[in-house]
Amino acid sequence: MSIELSLSQKISEIVNKLYNADVESSVVQIQNTLPEFTGDLTCVVFPFLRFSKKNPVQTGEEIGALIVEEMEEFTGFNVIKGFLNLELSADNWGGILNSIASNESYGAIKLDVPKTIMVEYSSPNTNKPLHLGHIRNNFLGYAVAEILKANGNKVYKTQIINDRGIHICKSMISWQKFGNGETPESEGLKGDHLVGKYYVEFDKHYKVEMAELIEKGLSKEEAMQEAPLFKEAQVMLKKWEDGDKEVTELWQKMNQWVYDGFKSTYEAMGVDFDQLYYESNTYLLGKKVVDEGLEKGVFYKREDGSVWCDLTADGLDEKLVLRKDGTAVYMTQDIGTAIERDNDFKIDGMIYTVGNEQEYHFKVLFLILKKLGYDFHEGLFHLSYGMVELPSGKMKTREGTVVDADDLMKDMIQTATKATEEKGKLEGYTEEEKVEINRMVGMAALKYFLLRVDPKKGMVFNPEESIDFNGNTGPFILFNCVRIKSLIRKYNSSDFEGVVVREVSDKEKALISKLNDYEKVLEQAGENYNPALIANYSYELAKEYSQFYASHYILNEGNGDLKKFRLNLSNQVGRFLEKALNILGIEVPERM
């Protein structure tokens, strides 16, 4: 039982005895004492005043006196306004550390009834390579899945691959007209990069055609629809949905190029998936559900043959679910995908990791599923996140100036290589070791920088800032992890486990308190789908340890028990730093 839980139960017992109350331990508020006050754990007294009929200081002093009398873990207390600050004994600090150290499963939360949760992330279009926005998406979705798994849930990582639609046909038409038979092999390009090249090429020619039509007197909106290249893409989409052999074969060939490219990008990112869904399959179920929705009166058909859902009574608008030519839209396939996933896994919850520009889309999707009568709509959640910019400004897509994911990861590894060389951190290592460590450092810098920010917030990614070995960065945390590994190797024994000392410094208390907070932070991160809580916890723990390391003897400590105590403390800090980083998808080298 944790010290906080024991304290909550004791305070509940004391309040009920002193004031003839009926207070459950679950409502007792315990938190870490603020640094500016004396104490280790703080109880908020205000909720008990209606029972004590006394002021906050009197109430706190009465409760505090009995806690110190009845709980040997506490040696003193003070009351500041409505806050009772309690001081733990040195013995108890050592006991907390040893309790954590001896519990291999500490930090792995177990639920009596685990939930089945599906986390969707990545979900790219097969008309271009992944970019910086996809990197944040993948890192965020992967970390949320790992956090939920660590919270005791059964988690499935998934993506919906958007492999059909007008955007896919744009790349296909463009390659047909301007590609001269190019292949990834002939051009020495990853397949997703080659297909993306022709998506950009389509846009260039499309703009020229639009400009010519506008010169002839058409409005921009009319020109967009009447441009010959766009019309050809529409015809191709209709042929694809009708199963045209030639179009289908081209679609299969170009999509495979992209899948091969995506595979190597995901491997470099260090993310994986348990289940893949393809829009080319799920849209069919979506179209079937639209037909069923028409019969139920959830949807209605306009004179032109298009099908809509009227959500105006719910404060939204009318939403197109099927075009007049019978082709599906994004909403169609998203309806089908959600239903298919529930059929496959009987999910308790599904999290969509998608940028905040799609918030309205998911409000509509969840409402339509509710109107269609699917109970699982209650467990659906849009993990909306802000966009990523570089110091130079926003990313662009169609103009071909997008920040490519593959290039960015390579650049980060090169930046890490330059930084480690300048600091002489890898002298004496083999070239193979240097390459692998620099890869880990570069990816740690990238992942941590993107995950340390609350998902809801937009952010500016600064590559140079992210690689700093002395700041709030992944490399700083890695360095402290590796420093601890080196320390334990040098000692070359595990006889430090279980040692208790009589005196504990403030820095040692702060570290043990941080270790004790791990499960609480993990639970909060799971409840809020927020990896930033884990990221910032790992930084705070590493920063505390760095200060401790600089101000305390460890291997050179003359007192044998104190040396072992500090080695045990260091070992546990390293253990939980690595545990936190692994949840974020960050690898930790053995040496550095």
Asked if 335 contacts 289 with a C-beta cutoff of 8 angstroms, the reply is yes
What is the per-residue DSSP string for 362-403? HHHHHHHHHHTT-GGGGGEEEEEE--EEBTTB---STTS---
**Closest of 378, 306, 317, 310 to residue 349, by C-alpha:** 378
Quick one: tokens of 214? 């506008």
- Please state the domain extents for the chain: 3-88, 121-389, 411-583
Mean local confidence (pLDDT), 319-346: 93
How much is the pLDDT for 107? 81
Residue 101 has pLDDT above 60, yes or no: yes
Dihedral sign for Cα 365, 368, 374, 375, please: positive
Give the model confidence (pLDDT) of 493-521 as tens digits: 989 988 888 788 989 999 999 999 999 99
Model confidence, pTM: 0.89
Give the model confidence (pLDDT) of 184-201 as tens digits: 999 999 999 999 999 999
Asked if 331 contacts 298 with a C-beta cutoff of 8 angstroms, the reply is no
Give the model confidence (pLDDT) of 217-269 as tens digits: 999 999 999 999 999 999 999 999 899 999 999 999 999 999 999 999 999 99
Sheet strands (E) in 287-441: 300-301, 307-310, 318-322, 349-355, 380-385, 388-389
Q: Is there a shared CATH topology between the 3-88 domain and the 121-389 domain? A: no
Q: What angle do CA 11, 13, 17 make, to 5 degrees?
A: 115
Cα 479 to chain centroid distance, Å, stands at 23
Q: What angle do CA 150, 155, 158 make, to 5 degrees?
A: 130
How much is the pLDDT for 134? 94
Task: Report how far residue 355's alpha carbon sits from residue 382's, in angstroms, rounded to the nearest whole number.
Answer: 9
Q: What angle do CA 584, 590, 592 make, to 5 degrees?
A: 95
How much is the pLDDT for 230? 96
Residue 85's SS3 state is strand
**Which H or E run includes 486?**
helix 474-491
Residue 393 has pLDDT above 60, yes or no: no
Average pLDDT value over all residues in the chain: 93
Residue 394 has pLDDT above 80, yes or no: no
Q: In the CATH scheme, what is the code of domain 121-389?
A: 3.40.50.620
How much is the pLDDT for 499? 84
CB within 8 A of 250, min separation 6: which ones? 172, 175, 176
Residue 6 has pLDDT above 80, yes or no: yes
Task: Report how far residue 277's alpha carbon sits from residue 161's, in angstroms, rounded to the nearest whole number.
Answer: 6
What is the per-residue DSSP string for 243-279? T-HHHHHHHHHHHHHHHHHHHHHHHHHT---SEEEEH
pLDDT-based confidence at residue 53 (cuts at 50, 70, 90):
very high
**Closest of 275, 342, 346, 277 to residue 115, by C-alpha:** 346
CATH fold label, 411-583: Isoleucyl-tRNA Synthetase; Domain 1 (1.10.730)
Kindly report which listed range (137-141, 277-281, 410-414, 460-464) carries the lowest average pLDDT score.
Answer: 460-464
Residue 173 has pLDDT above 90, yes or no: yes
Residue 26 has pLDDT above 70, yes or no: yes
Q: What is the CA radius of gyration of the chain?
A: 29
Task: Report how far residue 131's alpha carbon sits from residue 430's, in angstroms, rounded to the nearest whole number.
Answer: 32
Q: In the CATH scheme, what is the code of domain 3-88?
A: 3.30.1360.70
Quick one: tokens of 369? 């599923």
Asked if 167 contacts 203 with a C-beta cutoff of 8 angstroms, the reply is no
Percent over 70 (pLDDT), the chain? 98
